[in-house]
Structure 1
Amino acid sequence: MRGILLVVALIFAAVFQAFAQSEFKGTVLDKDDGEPVFGAYVFLKDKDGETLKSSVTDFDGSFSLGRPAQKEFYLEISYVGYQTLRKDLTSDSSGNLGEIQLINDGQLMEAFEFEAPVMAGEVKRDTVAFNASAYKTRPEADADELVRKMPGVIIQDGTIQVQGENVEEILVDGRPFFGDNPAAALKNLPAEVIEKIEFLDRIGDEAQLTGFDDGETVKTINIITKKGRRAGRFGKFYAGYGTGQNYMAGGNMNFFNEAQRFTILGLSNNINQQNFSSDEMAGAMANNNNRRGGNDMEVGQLPGITRTNAIGLNFSDEYQEGKLKVSGSYLFNHRDNVLNRNSNREYVLPNDSLQLYREDRNNRQEIESHRFNMRIDYDINEKHGLIIRPRASFDRANSINELVATNLVDNQTPISGSTNTTTSQRENFNFGNSLTYRFRFNKRGRTFSTNIYTGSFNNQNQSDLVAVNQNFINNNLDSLIQFSENTARGFNYNVNFSYTEPLGEKSQLRFNYRVRNNISSTAQQVLRQEPETSFIRLDSILSNNFENTYQTQSAGLGYRFNNEKLRVFANVRYQRADIDSDRTFPNFENTQRDFGNVLPRMVINYSFSDISNLRFDYNTNTNPPAIRQLQDVLDNSNPLQISNGNPNLNQEYSHRIFTRFRRINPETNRSFMVFFFGNLIQDFIGNETFIASEDTFIEGDVLLRQGGQFNRPVNLDNFWTTRTYVSYGFPLSFMKSNLNINSNFRINNRPGIINEQRNDNINTTLGQGFVLSSNISERVDFNISTNANYNMVRSSLQESLNNNFFEQRNRFDLFWNFAGGFFFSNNVNHLMYAGLGEDFDQNIWLWNMDFGFRFPPSRKAEIKLTVFDLLNQNVSINRNVTDVFVEDVRTQVLQQFVMLTFTYNLRRFGGVNMDL
């Protein structure tokens, strides 16, 4: 790999001739020990204090800054725990600033030692930095336990939120750690190696290379490690066995040698821990159990009970004196899953009538998943820069799904039913690669860049369906035996060209052209066995060959203004989109659509002070229909719920507004944040539902029993959603704890069509919560949280229908090291549901308890006894609200068990064995 990268570098170097650009270079060191200071902020400012240039020091303390046009300015370097340095410079000053020493701020460090609740930190525009030493965690705590104590942070069900926004990326010392799987990254890094935590809005790859901030950001946590912990070996290994033959085993091992880092993870259990992102028992806890993986380096969380075996690898290193940076991750996951689920669904019909749907599902499946990604950053020279990001995934699954479904007029009167079994095998392969290149001209601020993305997928699925369907009104029975084979293939590319031109020291123009093309094809072949003759024939109604091309071209002009307090980005582009779809079997039909849209964008960031700022973001975009939505072929895998595509769908046009005000004072540990999000979609792709009042044939051949549903996607207007979130955090000095109070208000309108009449389901949610986390000592650690939501559902077809419900989640965590190496911990979850109906209203207490001992003298080994679900009340309940129905779902979960676990923590840094 290293040889390939060197060849690539030589090719680029030969094609593009490098011309050195005048700049300032230097190295920042600790005055006391001479060690490099990584992550220090470096600024060049004019006499009024306005930032001209900025940078952050690298691992070796080095930095480089372009030379500004002003004649007089000064250098400023700041870092938590050090005195801020200032040095006057002129345009004639030497570019080699040499070694610059920072003086340790003794008073500040003393404050950390004796007044832990009072912490120091910094706010630099969109970056908030907190010093880890100001937060007390239990011994051997992981990074997630440290991060969740910081202002405005909520970690729940594998999702990490910072001031109401989901974290999408974790960096360790500025470099990716396990791709875009934040929860896995935090769970497998010990808190003791962390010096500082940064929360930032990270700009995209192209903006990083060109310096042109286009407003596209990713909420990111950057973990800065301690200088003495960047070289060594550390990890954790554990194994446990319990009643009911429950078991778990796993661990992680990290090999750090400054820039070179390697991490290996292992996991094996049958208690629902499916990713490297949960506590040992968190995967078994009651929750909605329907969260899907939102990134390439995480598998979707399966509901039910799962046995998992998994391995993860992460690697990063630097070459050519830091010019070439390489990082990559690989995850393997094998799961055996059993799902038992029952659901009650209430359809909204015209004329104040209702229909019920009940479903009992028993599903068994085996899934094998592979995830790989890589990032290569190559700063070839001052003019040329390159970022390459390949990624791939492969999934293989075998499943058997048994389903019993019934349509009812009321709780006692069935209309129609189906009992069916589906056996299926599928394989999915996806590959994508992004290449971003930047060229800097001699004139500062003038750049040319391009981003080229290519991707492909190949999905195959085979299934066998055996079903018995019944009409309870006339007692008619029929059977269905069919064999299906589905193939979906696609290739897409996205090529973007950008040119930036400076208009002065504070502003730039950007000219942009982009072309995208998605080319895909699907083939579905369905064979049906005649019940009387056992003759197998091709069903041309359910079979289909479909080819689709969706191409867009857009050109835009953007403007950026940037000074110390105000940043503005405005952009407008015109987009032309063309859809060309061909159905080639059972007969030929061509559909062509074209769209022209003006897409404006505006991003404003204003800093009122060093600790408070405002962000406003208005964005528009289009979203094409998925190939499955366009494919005009029937799906009768559930004979009571038949669906079809619609080749005449338009693309969606979306308006989004995001506004956030944030005030964070790290010195006092107080934070206040409020944000508003709104989304309006024109030509929203919703559902049209037909509920049969009698046995009906769809497409003249497929029988839909009385009470059954036929669904197809259609374009509808007036889809909108809004959300407001307010958070306030502050310390409680009298009890050495931090309190965070949050409120949220959400309302959304989802349109649909039911039996040719429009229905708007408006769902309103009012929520209130708080989190109290201790900061007492390493011997006593607790967290108390509650979150209550009241939900109101209103239907325009039936305004009198009342589907209001209330849910509340309370949690209490306690760790107590009460005598020597003995410790005791509790995890109590209380879940309350009201308004879901007699069968689903619950008041549940899930209580997990640990008692253990850490072996002296190092206390790196521990043995503990865990009782899961002490009160034996664990259940999983969820409510889903759509445009045509309200559904309550109950899913089987793990029940009470006892487990004995042994854990060993390895710590060896800088040649010193910390286990002794």
Structure 2
Amino acid sequence: MRHIILFLVLSNTFLSFSQSKPFNISGTVIDEFNKSQLESATVYLQRVKDSALVTYTISDKNGEFTLEGKTYDEKLNLLVSYVGYKTINKSININKEDIKLGTINMMVDDNALDEVIVKSTPPITIKKDTLEFNVKSFKTKKDANVEDLLKKLPGVEIDEAGKITVNGKEVNKILVNGKPFFGNDPTITTRNLTKEIIEKVQITDTKSKADAFAGKESDGENKTINLTIKKENNKGVFGRLAAGAGTDERYEFAGMFNYFDNDRRISLLSGGNNINSAGFSFGEIRKMFGGGNRINISGDGSFAIDGRSFGGGQGITTSRTSGLNYADKIGEKTDVSGSYFYSGSESENTSSTQRENILPDTRYFTDSNSSSSNSTDSHRANTELEFKIDSTLYINVKPSFNFTKSENISSRDETSRDIDRVLINESESSSFVENTAKNFSNNVNLTKRFGSKGSFLRLYFNNRNNITETDDFLDSETNIYGATPNDIIRKQFTDGENHSSNVSTGITYRQPILGKKLALDFSYRYNRNKQENIRSTFDFDEVEQDYNTFNKDLSTNFKYIDDNNTFGLELSYRKDKLFAEIETDYVLRTLENQDFLRSDLDLKRDFNNLQLSSTIRYRFSPKASFRAGYRLRNSVPSLRQLQPFQDVSNPLNTVVGNPNLKTGIDHRFNVNFNAFDFNKGTGFYGYVRGNFRNNQVVSKSIINEDLVRNTTFENVNGNHNINSSIWYNKKVKIDSLTSIKFGFGSSIGLSKNINFNNGVKYSSRVNNIGPSVNFELTVKDLLEIRPRYRLQFTKNRYDIDAFNDRSFVYHNLNVVTGFFLPKNFEWRNNVNFNYNPNIADGFQKSAWFWNSTLAYSFMKDSATLTLKAYDLLNQNTNARRIATENYIQDSQSTVLQQYFMLSFSWKFNSLGKKGEVRESRFHF
């Protein structure tokens, strides 16, 4: 089979080179009336026979352009498009390689603002800071979704997790006809909507809706993609159903239903599995729902996707989710949208670790075993109301409610031995914890514009209220041996209740100085965060057989208030291609704590600080831009770090705050450059970012001869982190079927961190460089091959004798393939290889991980049968060793291992022209 594929590829490539004719067409685009050069005009070639796009480019600052490529055709149509001008269409004879067109004069279109029928739409249009792509100009496979489409757009990159970048900048919001689709979760949008219903893809800098209404410049750090659905395709239903069953009782199921009726959109989804996925997985079902763009994983293995929690556990997780999304327009002035999500999970995990702890003058050993069982149910409802009262007044209201209930059962035992393996202490514990959390928040924003020069007034009010109730049953015993033996037995119940409220409000007024070029913003912001925390711990009374003896040492009852007023001044300048702004804030902040159990721990501290930020952006052309920024921020120590309260909840680690801590000072800078040549298919971007921190708060522990820790906090100076990256890629279109894309680059990181090891201050310096290269070969309807290889050279240096300097090299190879023969079959593979030298001898340093899917489409391509193999090589072991400067640890835990699964999915789509339902019921 592989020989046949190789033969077809080589034959196709040879025929392409032998029969196609190269061309190089150049010219200059100018305004016919004033003879000025027109920058950012779209120049493109189409086939005469079927109007298929051959190639395109954008004119430079001198109005000049060059079109390069190969074609079989004797004639091609040349079109030149520019916003506000009449489109030029002329036939070009491809009778020689170099074709010079000279000057192309464009006439102003007097009917540009009227409703006209456009017979030919350019593949790309530049409207100020917006790139607009015409979907018809970018060919994809017949069953393509939006993610497949985006991968075809110049400058757009999408990784395996669905993260999207445009010229190196992350896309953090995707809209459909200007509105959120399932709470701005990008992968739910890109992997569910089909390409055929989309008319245009618009890419802009991310702004809040209030900023967009007021005309305020964005910071340029992130991008927003807006998908415009064809008007005739904006009425009907579409979606997908899928389910799978596999070995080891593995399963997954998912479904989505969408109803579109012009401004009204209703969508439902549901899914579940026991393969450690938040309702979504790789393969068929992951294509449906994606994995979320913002994934947070905590230390206990719990995870959240775009703010939706799916429970904890490092072992095997069973999860389920369902949701409803609604969007509509009421009258001419009101837009409404809302969503509801339910998510639940159960997880089981057992783990064991053996750790060798490294101190400046000795070492000791800790062995531990643990098991946990966790269940979580979460409900979240969000609503957004937009009122456009008139062309100058905009009101936005966003209420949200969240309810979560969880239960956790866990047990743990641990032993510590000195360097001679003599037992020093040991402990065992078991607990049962029930937790209930309710959260309500509401954000109200009002924006009023004045005149036509950009003046506006903005008022906002945000509030957030949270109530958390906890019931915690704990049984533990800790035995400390040695010169001062001690036996600590706890059988306790803790009733916890936490109330928190946050209120923030502010006002901003913009005063234009030089028309729309220079503006001054005056702002005032007030924020008040209040927390009331009550934890009442009761010891078990053996006589009464009840938890009725109050334990003051393990109980808390305090009210904490964080009050701050911020006065700001911002100066911004914008002209043509240059944008610059500088902002200064003065913050008056007061932290106050009342302890109702220990009045001597009451505290009140004032932290008054100056904050600065500045940004400069310059757009050399539609193809290249530069950005630099600086920010000064201050971080205030937390109450736990400040309050000199002795936390003895862990018998082996007593934690005491430090009331003399200072405010942390954080200096950050960033510089980035990106460029993309539409004609040559080349892209380049690079950045340098730095973070310098003084007065950073770090923990400081001292371990006594019984291996019991006493921990406090201190400020340290000199921590920093600098990282940079540079990347170049190029796409070569061999012919209409075959294309090659390759890229290479490198990242560099320099960091310094100051910490304490058993009370001794030390610094660690880590330098790393990570070159990488990737390649992509695509032959339409035949194959896709995408290998990527990455290295990372790392060197760690320490200024403490207890730690040895270390150098090592990581290797990572990822190969993604897709084969599409015979007809209706699709075989995809994801092979990953890792080599980690930072593992001690006797443990596996390298591992291969191979996932594979074989899919067959039938029923007019609306149904798909998929066979999936997870960890085909059975390499996902649960034993590993980690070596750091502080410890060497061997660990073992429950992990998901090899399984095979057979899945079935069915797509349906009745979106049709002008709101009419298509005759065909199915669509793939």
TM-score higher than 0.5 = yes
For 1:758, the equivalent position in structure 2 comes to 761
Residue from 656, 669, 672 that aligns with 1:657: 669
Partner residue of 2:876 out of 874, 877, 896: 874
Map residues 8-27 of structure 1 onto 2, 5 A cutoff.
none
Q: Of residues 900, 916, 922 in structure 2, which corresponds to 1:915?
A: 922
For residue 502 of structure 2, what is the aligned residue in structure 1?
Answer: 492
Among candidates 180, 185, 189, match of residue 181 of structure 1: 185
Q: Are the aligned partners of 1:421 and 1:466 in contact in 2 as well (CA < 8 Å)?
A: yes
In the other structure, the counterpart of 1:117 is: none
The structure with higher relative contact order (CA 8 Å, sep 6+) is 1
Q: Secondary structure at the match of 2:116?
A: strand
Aligned equivalents of 2:632, 2:305: Cα separation in 1: 22
Q: Would you say 1:512 and 2:532 are equivalent positions? A: no
Match of residue 70 from structure 1 = none
SS at match of 1:619: strand
Could you say which residue in structure 1 is the equivalent of 2:245?
Answer: 241
Greater mean deviation of Cα atoms: 335-344 or 146-155: 146-155
Distance in 1 between residues matched to 2:330 and 2:116, nearest whole Å: 26
Q: Deviations over 1:385-442 (max 9, x none)?
A: 1122222322211011222333344596654332222211112222222211111223
Q: Is the 8 A contact 1:178 1:297 kept in 2?
A: no
Which position in structure 2 is the counterpart of 1:115? none
Indicate yes or no: 2:681 matched with 1:669.
yes
CA distance in 2 between counterparts of 1:454 and 1:513 reads 17
Change (3 A) 1:121 1:884: farther
Q: Per the alignment, do residues 486 and 136 of structure 1 end up closer, same or farther by CA in structure 2, a change over 3 Å counting? A: farther
Q: Distance in 2 between matches of 1:793 and 1:805?
A: 9
Is 1:894 aligned to 2:890, yes or no?
Answer: no
Distance 2:870 2:857 in 1: 21
What is residue 720 of structure 1 aligned with on the other side? Answer: 720
Structure 1 position 361 matched with structure 2 position 370: yes
Q: State how many pairs are aligned.
A: 811
> CA offsets, 1:38-95, max 9 Å, x none?
xxxxxxx9998999xxxxxxxxxxxxxxxxxxxxxxxxxxxx998324269xxxx999
Q: Which residue of structure 1 aligns with residue 213 of structure 2? A: 209
2:234 maps to which of 230, 234, 242: 230
1:800-879 matched pairs, under 5 angstroms: 800-802=803-805, 804-838=807-841, 841-856=844-859, 858-875=860-877
1:385-784 equivalence runs, <5 A: 385-409=394-418, 415-442=424-451, 444-471=453-480, 478-505=488-515, 506-529=517-540, 537-630=549-642, 639-646=651-658, 649-693=661-705, 706-734=706-734, 736-784=739-787
The answer as to whether partners of 2:570 and 2:582 remain within 8 angstroms in 1 is yes
1:318 is displaced (CA, Å) by 2.3
Q: 1-side partners of 2:506 and 2:152: how far apart?
A: 41
Residue 410 of structure 2 aligns to a residue in which SS? strand
- Cα contact 1:163–1:727 (8 A) shared by 2: no
C-alpha displacement of 1:192: 4.2
Q: Distance in 2 between matches of 1:595 and 1:85?
A: 53
CA distance in 2, matches of 1:897, 1:533: 53
Shift of 1:302: 5.3
CA separation in 2, counterparts of 1:878 and 1:728? 36
2-side partners of 1:357 and 1:152: how far apart?
49
CA, structure 1 residues 688+224, in 2 after alignment: closer, same or farther (shift >3 Å)? farther
User: For 2:168 and 2:699, how far apart are their aligned partners in 1?
Assistant: 30
**Distance across 1 between alignment mates of 2:370 and 2:382:** 35
Query: How far off its partner does 1:510 sit?
Result: 0.9
Q: What is the deviation of 1:779? A: 4.4
User: What is the CA–CA distance in structure 1 between the aligned matches of 2:885 and 2:496, rounded to whole Å?
Assistant: 29
**Aligned residues of 2:311 and 2:375 also touching (Cα < 8 A):** no
Q: CA deviation at 1:617?
A: 1.7
The structure 2 residue matched to 1:350, chosen from 323, 341, 360, is: 360
**8 A contact 1:184–1:275 mirrored in 2:** no
The structural deviation recorded for 1:602 is: 0.7
Can you list the C-alpha shifts for 1:132-176, whole angstroms capped at 9, x where unaligned?
A: 556665554543454456546243556555555544322223222
CA–CA distance in 1 between the matches of 2:774 and 2:109? 52
| 1:795 paired residue number | 798
Give the greater-gyration-radius structure (CA): 2
Change (3 A) 1:407 1:385: same
The aligned counterpart of 1:86 is 84
- Report the counterpart of residue 296 of structure 1 in structure 2: 307
Superimposed CA distance per residue, residues 209-256 of structure 1 (whole angstroms, 9 cap, x where no aligned partner): 322326375443333444554332211111111111111111112222
SS in 1 for 2:217: coil
Q: What is aligned with 1:20?
A: none
Structure 1 residues 313-349: Cα deviation after superposition (integer angstroms, max 9, x where no partner): 222222333x322222221101001123344555553
Q: 1:700 — aligned with what?
A: none
* Counterpart contact for 2:206–2:218, Cα < 8 Å: no
Deviations along 1:184-222, one digit per CA (max 9) or x if unpaired, are 333333344344444443123442232232637544333
Report what 2:9 is aligned to: none
AA aligned to 1:378 is: F
Structure 1 counterpart of 2:277: 273
Distance (Å, rounded) in 1 between the aligned partners of 2:144 and 2:525: 47
Q: TM-score, normalised by structure 1?
A: 0.80
Q: What one-letter code is carried by the residue in structure 2 that aligns with 1:549?
A: I
Task: Give the equivalent residue in structure 1 for 2:57.
Answer: none
| 8 Å contact from structure 2 (residues 283, 853) kept in 1 | no
Alpha-carbon separation, structure 1, partners of 2:693 and 2:537: 36
Which stretch of the first structure deviates more once superposed, 225-234 or 721-730? 225-234
Farther-moved stretch of structure 1 (185-194 vs 516-525):
185-194
1:77 corresponds in structure 2 to none
Counterpart amino acid of 1:582? Q
In structure 1, the gaps of 5 or more residues are 1-44, 52-79, 109-119, 694-705
How far apart in 2 are the matches of 1:277 and 1:224? 28
Contact 1:213 1:569 in 2 (8 A): no
% same residue? 23
Q: Structure 2 vs 1, CA of residues 214 and 859 (structure 1 numbering), >3 Å: closer, same or farther? A: closer
Q: 1:897-916 CA deviation, whole Å, 9 max, x = no partner?
A: 22111110112211113517
Q: How far is the alpha carbon of 1:801 from its aligned partner?
A: 2.0
Distance 1:389 1:775, change over 3 A: farther
Change (3 A) 1:625 1:523: farther
SS in 1 for 2:910: strand
